[in-house]
């Protein structure tokens, strides 16, 4: 057995990592060191031309409401938002009207229960770094998980020194020696935690899974009814791919007709430009997924808990706050990659409103502004008359990369973006009260100085 993997295995066993997580890591590690082909070429794929649409599902709502009592909502809550300078659960960040992502999610579940009379459970998939704070924040909403545990933990796996492919040692902050293995770990974590067995034993048959930072991802009874009636084991919600999504994973079809998700990490370098062709590869993965729980149980049993998901190699500094610290490799899998694992998996095209993620401070500024509103179902949606997610925002990374920097420069809240098409900020710019951005605006601060946008300014 490879000595480098044995070092990883010893470290994982010493930390009490479950056997199924070690087996999944072994598969990813072997693929890495063997140089196993990890790309999907255009020669192997065909574009997906048409899909069923959410807007045509009015007659499935009744079936969905009948299935609510057998359904559970799972939120992927393992992220720290390190790309925005955060060191705790990203879902605790105030995002809209003073509410955090978790607040919005909890209020959506409460509203669904009030409207339907069904106590649909909410369960979090936490990482070892997000668990305590997140459960404490949710406690004020009561027992939203019903008869189930409120959360289950993603596994943790060793980060590998990029040059030697052995477990990295970082005594200054030992927690940086570990990482969660991507949200594709959900399947194995559900099994090893015992929660999948508990769900099935309690009569739950369908799980709706989405990212904690996607404010538009609510359990829609019409979509639930469509999924249950389809008999599919797995379904992915996709949306029309735009220029803003060109680097994200897209839907494709293999030559034998099976749907597959291709991430940018799986694209051969010479095909990168064509990967970003949104007219050819039309559909973007929202990571809103529907899973038939009995089908998942069967798939895990058939593979001893190791679903054949494509591996993703993610390289970054060992210390996220120090870009010059040694490079490490994280071995990950993507949740949506199971599309190609389940025979008969489906995809459905959904409205733009079901995808309102926050990955950068530009996204955060957009959603905090009046370009988005909360509706009666506690969804966060593009405001009528505005462009919503299509507003192009480019903030100077020297002054707006982190949430702390954004907050410092928008101390009175986000400027109005309801009538904005694009905003470019160059240099150190601070916004006053009640500032409005309309049309296409470029703001540039003088060299080595701050530009103060005055209270009440309307910029066109």
DSSP for 333-371, please give it: E-GGGGGGTSTT-EEEE--GGG--B--SHHHHHHHHSTT
- Under the banding of pLDDT at 50, 70 and 90, the label for residue 185 is very high
What percent helix, strand, coil does the chain show, rounded to 5? 35, 25, 40
Catalytic residue, from 11, 316, 359, 426: name it.
359
- 426 in active site: no
Provide the β-strand partners of residue 431: 453
**pLDDT, position 126:** 95
What percent of the chain lies above the pLDDT cut of 70?
A: 100
Closest among 264, 286, 287 to 274, alpha carbons compared: 264
- Under the banding of pLDDT at 50, 70 and 90, the label for residue 229 is very high
**Using an 8 Å Cβ cutoff, are 32 and 329 in contact?**
yes
- CATH code: domain 3-354 is 3.90.550.10
Closest among 362, 18, 443 to 189, alpha carbons compared: 18
For 399-418, what is the mean pLDDT?
Answer: 97
Name the more confident of 291 and 241: 291
For 141-165, what is the mean pLDDT?
Answer: 95
**Using an 8 Å Cβ cutoff, are 251 and 281 in contact?**
yes
Q: Could you please report the per-residue DSSP string of 273-338?
A: HHHT-TTTS-EEEEEEEEEEHHHHHHHHHHTTT---PPEEEEEEESSTT-TTSPEEEEEEE-GGGG
For 58-86, what is the mean pLDDT?
Answer: 91
pTM: 0.93
Compute the chain's Rg from CA coordinates.
Answer: 22
**pLDDT, position 39:** 81
For 142-152, what is the mean pLDDT?
Answer: 96
**pLDDT, position 2:** 84
For 276-297, what is the mean pLDDT?
Answer: 95
Q: What value does the mean pLDDT of the chain take?
A: 93
**pLDDT, position 111:** 95
Q: Is 22 exposed, middle or buried (0-12, 13-18, 19+ CB in 10 A)?
A: middle
Spell 74-95 as b/e; 16+ CB within 10 A means b: bbbbbbbbeebebeebbbbbeb
Q: Where are the domains of the chain?
A: 3-354, 361-459
Specify the range with the lowest mean pLDDT, choosing from 155-169, 239-253, 319-333, 439-453: 239-253
Find how far residue 413's CA is from the centre of its chain: 25
**pLDDT, position 1:** 54
Name the more confident of 391 and 87: 391
What does the angle CA 249 – CA 252 – CA 256 come to, to the nearest 5 degrees?
Answer: 145
For 276-294, what is the mean pLDDT?
Answer: 95
| Alpha-carbon torsion angle 262, 80, 76, 351, nearest 10 | -60
CATH class of 361-459: mainly beta
Residue 390 pLDDT exceeds 90: no
**pLDDT, position 263:** 87
**Using an 8 Å Cβ cutoff, are 120 and 73 in contact?**
yes
């Amino acid at each position: 057995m490879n000595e480098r993997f044995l070092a990883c295995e010893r470290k994982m066993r010493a930390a009490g990592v479950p056997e199924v997580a070690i087996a999944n890591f072994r598969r990813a590690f072997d693929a890495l060191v063997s140089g196993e082909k990890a790309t999907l070429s255009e020669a192997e794929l065909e574009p997906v031309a048409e899909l069923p649409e959410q807007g045509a599902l009015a007659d499935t709502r009744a079936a969905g409401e009948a299935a609510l009592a057998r359904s559970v909502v799972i939120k992927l809550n393992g992220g720290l938002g390190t790309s925005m300078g955060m060191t705790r659960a990203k879902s605790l960040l105030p995002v809209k009207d003073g509410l955090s992502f978790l607040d919005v999610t909890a209020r959506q579940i409460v509203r669904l229960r009030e409207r339907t009379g069904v106590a649909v459970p909410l369960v979090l998939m936490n990482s070892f770094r997000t668990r305590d704070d997140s459960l404490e924040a949710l406690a004020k909403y009561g027992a939203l998980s019903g008869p189930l545990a409120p959360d289950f933990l993603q596994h943790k796996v060793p980060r590998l020194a990029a040059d030697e492919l052995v477990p990295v040692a970082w005594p200054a902050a030992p927690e940086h020696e570990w990482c969660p293995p991507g949200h594709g770990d959900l399947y194995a974590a559900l099994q090893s935690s015992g929660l999948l067995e508990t769900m099935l034993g309690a009569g739950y048959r369908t799980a709706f899974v989405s990212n904690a930072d996607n404010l538009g991802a609510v359990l829609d009874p019409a979509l639930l009814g469509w999924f249950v009636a389809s008999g599919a084991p797995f379904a992915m919600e996709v949306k029309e791919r735009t220029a803003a999504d060109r680097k994200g994973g897209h839907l494709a079809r293999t030559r034998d007709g099976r749907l597959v998700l291709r991430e940018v990490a799986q694209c051969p370098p010479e095909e990168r430009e064509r990967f970003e062709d949104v007219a050819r590869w039309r559909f973007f993965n929202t990571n809103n997924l529907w899973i038939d729980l009995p089908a998942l149980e069967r798939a895990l049993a058939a593979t001893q808990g190791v679903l054949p998901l494509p591996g993703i190699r993610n390289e970054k500094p060992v210390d996220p706050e120090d870009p010059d610290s040694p490079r490490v490799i994280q071995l990950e899998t993507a949740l949506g990659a199971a599309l190609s694992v389940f025979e008969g998996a489906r995809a459905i095209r959904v409205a733009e409103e079901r995808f309102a993620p926050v990955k950068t401070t530009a996204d955060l500024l957009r959603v905090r502004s009046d370009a988005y509103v909360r509706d009666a179902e506690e969804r966060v949606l593009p405001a009528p008359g505005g462009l919503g997610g299509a507003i192009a925002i480019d903030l100077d990374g020297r002054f707006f990369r982190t949430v702390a920097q954004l907050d410092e420069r928008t101390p009175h809240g986000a400027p109005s973006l309801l009538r904005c098409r694009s905003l470019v900020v160059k240099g150190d710019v601070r916004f006053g009260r009640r500032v409005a951005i309309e049309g296409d605006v470029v703001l540039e601060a003088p060299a080595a100085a701050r530009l103060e946008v005055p209270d009440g300014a309307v910029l066109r």
